[in-house]
Amino acid sequence: MRKLRQAVHDPGRDHINVHARPPGAGMVDPFGRTVSYLRVSVTDRCDFRCVYCMSEHMSFLPKRDLLTLEELDRVCGVFVAKGVRKLRITGGEPLVRKNIMWLFRALSRHLETGALEELTLTTNGSQLPKYAADLAACGVKRINISLDTLNPDRFRQITRWGDFAQVMDGIAAAEKAGLAVKINTVALKGVNEHEIEDLVCFAHDRGFDLTVIETMPLGDIDGDRTDQFLPLSIVRARLMARWTLEDIPYHTGGPARYVTVKETGGRIGFITPMTHNFCESCNRVRLTCTGTLYMCLGQADAADLRAPLRSSSNDEALSGAIDEAISRKPKGHDFIIDRRSKKPALARHMSVTGG
């Protein structure tokens, strides 16, 4: 398959050393895990309404509640000084935030100094025709693009508002800009479960990795989650009926476990928060666009960083609040999809904490 060698044998991508930290700096939680990865949701707004993520009529935060881009930059800078090596910008849809390229340009200075190893983002792809080249110019090397189907009608059903052709243009723009693309696919029972092989072929043909994600019970949506949940053990078994999957120790600093498909030479990642607890190696915390820090995607506990951020122009109070938050990072989550109440495990939508 074309471009494969290039994707599989790019040594720069093989080991993102997000655990490396400069001497004297670093955040270690009560379970000895080094926190070196910050995900930042820069907006709760999105131009799509994916059925498993949002209800159709969402109420979004008023602009005045959001951290300004300058404040987001400042918080990120403090995290980098404290040992964060990987920054992922997410949302909502990060590329719909006004003037977002200002933030990428500002953050790219940490790549130039070497303090930051990776600046990346998760996007639905809709704005990439506009921004892919600028992102590459800011030092972004890899991006995650969410894509659950290759069928334009199903794409519209899943995203409610999305335009498949626009996302395909976005993917092409990312390729043209030289960005390494990883496709993220949420496995949805009865919706796209029989398309996963096609998505693998689509990704591997282009030299992309593909990561399959189990749907998590986050946020009230209009439908029933128990209907959507598909354990990845089933997806994996189906893929194994067609291809030879070989476990590999490849890490990108995220929670996925990877295999290589022998026949295509490409990689598939599996993110299994529901059926396999991935917390033991968790190195991440998540900042919302209002300055709330979640130490675990699957727990309600959080720390407010906006008040200490705004209380003073020096970073002492902010730094202290971050240390205090890390000292409360929980051991793990306990998501369950409750079949009786059919309520989400957490009322918070994924668009608040970011994927």
Binding site for ligand SAM (CB under 6 A): 46, 50, 52-53, 90-91, 93, 122-124, 146, 184, 186, 213, 215-216, 218, 350-351, 354-355
Q: CA dist 109 to 73, 117, 124, 301, 316, Å? A: 11, 11, 25, 32, 22
Residue whose C-beta lies closest to ligand SAM: 355
Burial of 281 (0-12, 13-18, 19+ CB in 10 A): exposed
| HSE of 268, CA atoms in CB hemisphere, 13 A | 29
Q: Are 209 and 7 in contact (CB under 8 A)?
A: yes
Residue 314 CA to residue 42 CA, distance in Å, equals: 22
Q: Which is nearer to ligand SAM, 268 or 321 (CB)?
A: 268
We find the least distance from the C-beta atom of residue 16 to ligand SAM, in angstroms, to be 19
Whole-number Å distance between alpha carbons of 205 and 268: 13
Looking at residue 214, its amino acid is E
Q: 50 vs 232, which CB is nearer to ligand SAM?
A: 50
For ligand SAM, which is the closer residue by CB, 215 or 283? 215
Judged by beta carbon, residue 41 or residue 322, the one nearer ligand SAM is 41
Least distance in Å: CB of 158 to ligand SAM? 9
Question: Which residue, 41 or 283, is less far from ligand SAM as judged by CB?
Answer: 41
CA 33-110-10 angle, 5° bins: 75
Closest CB 25 distance from ligand SAM, rounded Å: 29
The residues, ordered by sequence, that sit 6+ positions from 17 with a Cβ below 8 Å of its Cβ are 85, 117
Nearer of residues 41 and 264 to ligand SAM, judged by Cβ: 41
The least CB distance from residue 134 to ligand SAM, in Å, is: 17
Residue 37 CB, nearest approach to ligand SAM (Å): 15
Distance CA 282, CA 261 (A): 26
- Residue 144, SS3 per DSSP: strand
25 φ/ψ sector (left φ>0, alpha ψ -120 to 50, else beta):
beta
Tell the smallest beta-carbon distance from residue 182 to ligand SAM (Å).
10
Min dist CB 241 to ligand SAM, Å, is 25
- Pairing relationship of beta strands 118-123 and 86-90 according to DSSP bridges: parallel
Residue number with CB closer to ligand SAM (215 or 260): 215
Q: Taking the complex as a whole, how short is the minimal distance between the CB of residue 256 and ligand SAM, in angstroms?
A: 12
State the residue for tokens 């398959």.
Answer: 1
Query: Is the Cβ of residue 83 or residue 122 nearer to ligand SAM in the bound state?
Result: 122
